[in-house]
Amino acid sequence: MIELIGFGAAIVVVASAVLAVSARDARAGIVGLTLASVTTVVIADPLPDPIALAFRVVAALFAGFLLWVTIRETDARTGSTALGWPAEAMAAGAAFAIGLAPSLLETERAGPDAALAAGFALIILSVVPVVFARDAFRLGMGLLLLLDGAALLRIGIAGTPTPLEQLTLGILAIGVAGATSVVALNAFAVSGTLEVGIAPGPEDER
């Protein structure tokens, strides 16, 4: 039963992440990101300690709220994926399938397969925003997805994190979201857009 719940949650995570990276409206992206982060927490077998679980959920909601506030005060437009959501969904699905492959790691694992699969999918989805993001919001969203994916990989391989680890992971997510807000607000103050200009290319050479 828990496996089925975990599998369903993993699909929700991946679908939400696809929404997050594909949305042109940052508000939709935040909804997807928050949903993915919240759902990530429950993909574990056994489920984390209730307090740790609650903290991770609150941390994910707070991270989303920080980004929401940023968007509310600046600009809700963000750079969407150039490939379109079907391409992103297919890439994520492929990564998900690879993660489910039982022979991927020829070894015993302590965590559920669904976590590994969702972790791979999130990491794949986060690569483009992290490397090629031109605006702060998209960069921060990619970084949060990357951290969620890494945390899922950790759950899938090493099992449910300890409460202390859950605590630090939640703090890390809040910190990244807060730092993203700071960068985004300053970028908006400078240029009137969320552009940060760190994507590779000629612009980077300024």
Partner 1 sequence: MTVLAFLAITFGAGAAGLLTRRRPPVSIAIGLVGLAAALVSALLVSPGDRLVVGESALVATDFMHLFIVFGTVAALALCVMALAADAWQRNLSSAMLLGLGALALGLALADPVAGLAATVAAGLPGVLVAITTPVDARGVRSAARELRAVAVTGAFALVAAALVSGPSGLVNLPTTVVGLAYLAMALAVAVRIGAIPFHTRVARVTGSAPTAALPLLLALAPAGFASAALVWIDGNIATTALPLDAERAVIIVVGLLCLLLGVLAATIQDDIEHVVGYSVIQDAGFVLLALAVFDSQVWEPARTWLLIYVVTKSAFAGWALAMRASFGTSRIGELSGWIRRAPLLAVTLGVIVAATVGIPSLLVFDVRSQIATLALGSPLALLAIVGGLASLLYYGRLARVGIGPVAPLVAAYPGVRPRGRGWAQAGASGRAGAAGDEGRAGAAPDVPGSTVAVAATAEARAAEGQGREAPLARERPVRRAGRGAEPLSLDLDGIAPAGDADEGSPAQGAAGPAVDAPPTSAAAFDAAERPVVEDDTPGPIGAADPTPAAGASPSAGVDAGPEDADGLVAATDARPGDADAGTDDVTPAFLLPPSGRGPTPGPRSGRAPRESLDAERPPSVRGPRIDQLRRDPKELTQAWAREALERAGLAPPSSGGTAADAAEAPIVEPVGTGAASARADAPRTEGTRADAPSPRAAGAGRLSGPTTGAPGEAAAAGGVAVGADDRPVSAAGGGASRTARSTPRSRRSPRAAGSDPDRSSAAAVLWEANRLLVLSVLALGLSLLGLAAAAGAFGVSEAARAQAPSPGGEIVLPGDLGGEPTGPDVTDPGAGSSPSDVASFPPEATPVP
Shorter beta-carbon distance to partner 1: residue 79 or 149 = 149
Instruction: Determine, following the binding rule CB under 8 A, whether residue 205 of this chain makes contact with partner 1.
Output: no
Shorter beta-carbon distance to partner 1: residue 14 or 155 = 155
Segment near partner 1 (CB under 8 A); pick from 10-18, 37-45, 91-99, 176-184? 176-184
Number of residues located near partner 1, criterion CB under 8 A: 59
Instruction: Determine, following the binding rule CB under 8 A, whether residue 124 of this chain makes contact with partner 1.
Output: no
Interface residue with partner 1 among 11, 76, 98, 185 (CB under 8 A) is: 185
Distance CA 56, CA 165 (A): 10
Distance CA 176, CA 52 (A): 19
Shorter beta-carbon distance to partner 1: residue 85 or 128 = 128
Instruction: Determine, following the binding rule CB under 8 A, whether residue 43 of this chain makes contact with partner 1.
Output: no
Interface residue with partner 1 among 24, 101, 110, 201 (CB under 8 A) is: 110
Question: Is 8 in a helix, a strand, or coil?
Answer: helix
Distances (CA, A) of 192 to 70, 185, 189, 201: 13, 9, 6, 21
Instruction: Determine, following the binding rule CB under 8 A, whether residue 76 of this chain makes contact with partner 1.
Output: no
Nearest distance from C-beta of residue 98 to partner 1, angstroms: 15
By CB atoms closer than 10 A (0-12, 13-18, 19+), residue 116 is buried
Residues 6+ apart with CB under 8 A from 45: 2, 3, 6, 111, 112, 159, 160
Q: Cβ of 190: how many Cβ atoms within 10 Å?
A: 11
Tell me, residue by residue from 135 to 164, as one string, x for binding to partner 1 by CB under 8 A and - for no binding.
Answer: -x--xx--xx-xx-xxx-xxxxxxx-xxxx
Shorter beta-carbon distance to partner 1: residue 61 or 150 = 150
Q: Tell me, what amino acid is at 78? A: T
Distance CA 88, CA 69 (A): 27
**Are residues 111 and 157 in contact, defined by beta-carbon separation less than 8 angstroms?**
yes
Distance CA 33, CA 173 (A): 12
Instruction: Determine, following the binding rule CB under 8 A, whether residue 201 of this chain makes contact with partner 1.
Output: no
Q: What is the DSSP-derived secondary structure letter of residue 25?
A: B
Q: Which residues are near partner 1 by CB under 8 A?
A: 73-74, 105-110, 123, 130, 136, 139-140, 143-144, 146-147, 149-151, 153-159, 161-165, 167-169, 171-172, 175-176, 178-183, 185-193, 195-198, 206
